[in-house]
Amino acid sequence: MAWPVLRETTTRLAVSVRPLSSACRVRRAAALATVALAVFAPREAAAEDVCKVIGATPARPSVGLVLSGGGARGYAHLGVLKVLEENRIPVDCIAGTSMGAVVGGLYASGMSAAEMEARLENVNLADIAFDVNERSELPQSQREDERLYVGSLGFGPDGVKLPAGLVQGNRFRALLQDWTSSVPGNQPFDALPIPYHAIATNLRTGDKVVLDHGSLPQAIRASMALPGLFAPADIDGVTLVDGGLVSNLPIQTARDMGANVVIAVDIGSPLRPLDALSSPADVMQQTLGILIHQNVARQRAQLTASDVLIEPSLGNLSFTDFANARDAIAAGETAARAALPKLQHLALSPEAYAAYRAAHSPLPAVPIRVTSVVVESNGEVPPKRVLDHLHVKAGDVYDPARINKDLQALTTSGDFESVTQQLINDGEDHRLVIDAREKSWGPNFLLFGLGMSSSSDDQGGFRVNLGYRRPWLTPSGLEWRVDSILGSDLLSLHTELRQPLSTSFGYYVAPYAEFQRRFANIYDNDTGFRLNQYHIQTERAGLDFGVPLGRLGDFRIGLAYAHAYGSPVYNGFDDAGDNGLAYPDFYGRQVTARARLVIDQLDDPLFPRKGYFADLHVERSAFGGSDRFTELYGKTIVAASLGRHSINASVEAGADIGGVNVVNPLGFTLGGFQHLSAYAADQLSGNSLLYAQVTYLNQLMTFNVAPLRGLFAGVSLEAGNVWDQGDRFGSGPLKRSVTFFSSVTSSFGPLYVGIAFAPGGRRNIYFQLGHTY
């Protein structure tokens, strides 16, 4: 079956699929025949047929509902729909743009206003719309990157690349796919329970595009692709962005569909005063707002005396303010009730309205069996990689929700820009097409992060984190990973090749090499006086075998060869009188076997509100080396929250048994922000460690505009100590600290300001940027 493609005219670009007037739904029993005629009949029918009133006696005017764009302000459309339903005012066709296309498309598919409101209340639409994934859904490698880096850039043969949008819209499209699963993927939207058209903009020409057939979720997604924020959508080879650029209040489209009376709901944001434009981003947003206001004014000029304009009073509610959805819905209800005197003449009797709802209700879902599964890809990832992650095969009943779970796992794997599904129905053939789009800004990725720290107890410093990722070097999935740190006290480089051994279970081998050079302060553990500073250099190479534990965590075991060298910055003779040096150089080399288990289910690595974390590892000298040792270490975190209040608790312990691990010659350390905060960074060192912390956090504010995200205030209670070899583990009193701090989270990492106190009058004041320091 060949569908008409988008065609360009001198004034607009339209997706034109018009059924014959005889294909308009004259009665409920003819609905299936409608779809058939829409597919095979010529497309000469007049556009006004799609908004035809069905079986009304006496005859009444056809009513077209026009819903404008406006982001979260679009929740007001729900309030308007609720009032229309309560007062039995019919809607015969819908034209929507952006958020208006979202609400209008769901309503046109047969969902009532009450059902839509209930569903939207049960999801975090802000997180879904902006592709905010639960950390627990990410692979462990991405969670580790999240702790080190705050941003990334892609580059290739053509130079540095950026995504076409900050948000790819995968989660939102999957949600729409679930909620409109009863709608065939390649039918005209005029065959929906309520005929529906969405508006988009051709990114190349700037022409208006009327989306009236194909995939309903894809059409809605294209209509809301705000340039710069959401990535453009591709339909029939045409790149589309938000329809608000050309027709944010598509009154003319409703007229073209045949509406005699238009109910237009304008929820657009007001232009801001000049004194509120304090940044280039503000000016760009105002410029976009001017363009939208101009096209809305042209559309509103087409309203006649018989039409009704509804303008909910939404004040300063922003297009990202999804948290105040209830206020927007209430504003829509209030505005619609105020317009009732102009609408009441359209109201139907209870019997007529019941007949109208029955004629416009969706058909019962009929199970469809998939006849084939096709993967379309645009890059280096083999289609088999996608197929191996799908649980659907030919002969299975089509279940879009289950398929979306598989696609979500692929989307969050980091390999793809988007992974979408569409069921193509062609007679008895029901072909499931999976479109897997690799990241257009690859194939090389540079990651970066920044950390700075200053406190009253040490000199402070900085660290710049740089990483490199090159996935899919070979069809088997070989990945090259590089992580480096350039700092005032640390220089390190880690490079690793990660080769998958199984696409089903994810087993991999990882040969690696690393280099580190650092300065380590030596303190007197009793007085806290800094005695010296060591320059320590280590190199290590090894081979690990890894097992991903689903999205729970990761387990690695392997062998490594390491050697290290250390020397003091300054020196003197010891007190023994034998001309020995007080701070001798040291050198060592070892072959070790080590194993590490990491489980990370925290919702946030910096301010966890729920979940748990565990990091357990053991390392032991191998092959009978002269300096035999066993090193044990473990750390656990649990977090829980109630409203804006949260508590997280952690316990950390470690011990070196026997000799010295040359990679960690100074043993375990305590001190620094959130690690016994009243003491200087790494002030306490020893061969064994015990530490515990409880932190209370109060989320004072959430910001809806980047780069700021949230404002927190908190207090931490800490206790711990270190012990040298020969001392009994846990002997003596624990050192204690209490910290009061506030933090602002941002796109550049967290910014902390805090003060810590310890018994004996010890205190430490902190200013720190980033979690990486």
Task: Determine the Cα–Cα distance for residues 150 and 466; give it in Å rounded to an integer.
Answer: 10
Q: In this structure, what token pair is assigned to residue 298?
A: 């042209």
Q: Which of 563, 509, 520 is nearest to 541 (CA)?
A: 563
**Residue 198 CB neighbour total at 10 angstroms:** 33
Q: How many residues does the chain have?
A: 773
What is the sign of the dihedral through the CA atoms of 392, 395, 396 and 397? positive
305's CB contacts (< 8 A; 6+ apart) are none
| Element containing residue 7 per DSSP (H, E) | strand 7-8
**Residue 490 CB neighbour total at 10 angstroms:** 15
Q: Which of 16, 18, 3, 25 is nearest to 362 (CA)?
A: 25
Amino acid (one-letter) located at 183? V
Catalytic residue among 62, 98, 215, 418: 98
Q: Which of 89, 84, 90, 144 is nearest to 114 (CA)?
A: 84
Q: Position of tokens 């710049």?
A: 464
The answer to whether the CB of 628 falls within 8 A of the CB of 670 is: no
Task: Determine the Cα–Cα distance for residues 386 and 532; give it in Å rounded to an integer.
Answer: 56
Q: Please state the three-class secondary structure of 402-429 as a single string.
A: HHHHHHHHHHCCCCEEEEEEEEEEECCE
The answer to whether the CB of 437 falls within 8 A of the CB of 418 is: yes
Whole-Å CA distances, 627 to 212, 591, 623? 75, 10, 11
447 beta partners? 152, 467
165's CB contacts (< 8 A; 6+ apart) are 225, 227, 228, 229, 230, 231, 232
618 beta partners? 595, 632
Q: Which of 773, 712, 756 is nearest to 765 (CA)?
A: 756
Q: Is 190 a catalytic residue?
A: no
The answer to whether the CB of 210 falls within 8 A of the CB of 222 is: no
Catalytic residue among 92, 131, 242, 415: 242
Q: Is 396 a catalytic residue?
A: no
Q: In this structure, what token pair is assigned to residue 460?
A: 């402070």
| Element containing residue 469 per DSSP (H, E) | strand 461-470
736 beta partners? 719
Q: Which of 562, 547, 639 is nearest to 597 (CA)?
A: 547
Backbone angles phi, psi at 253, to 5 degrees: -65, -40
Helix (H, G, I), strand (E, B) or coil at 291: helix
Residue-wise burial string across 605-621, b where 16 or more C-beta atoms lie within 10 A, e elsewhere:
bbbbbbbebebebebbb
Q: In this structure, what token pair is assigned to residue 645?
A: 């209040």
Amino acid (one-letter) located at 5? V
Output DSSP code: residue 23: G
Task: Determine the Cα–Cα distance for residues 396 and 28; give it in Å rounded to an integer.
Answer: 29
For every residue of 173-239, DSSP letters joined together read: HHHHHHHTTTS-TTEEGGGSSS-EEEEEEETTT--EEEE-EE-HHHHHHHHT--TEEE--EEETTEE
Give me the active site residues, please: 98, 242
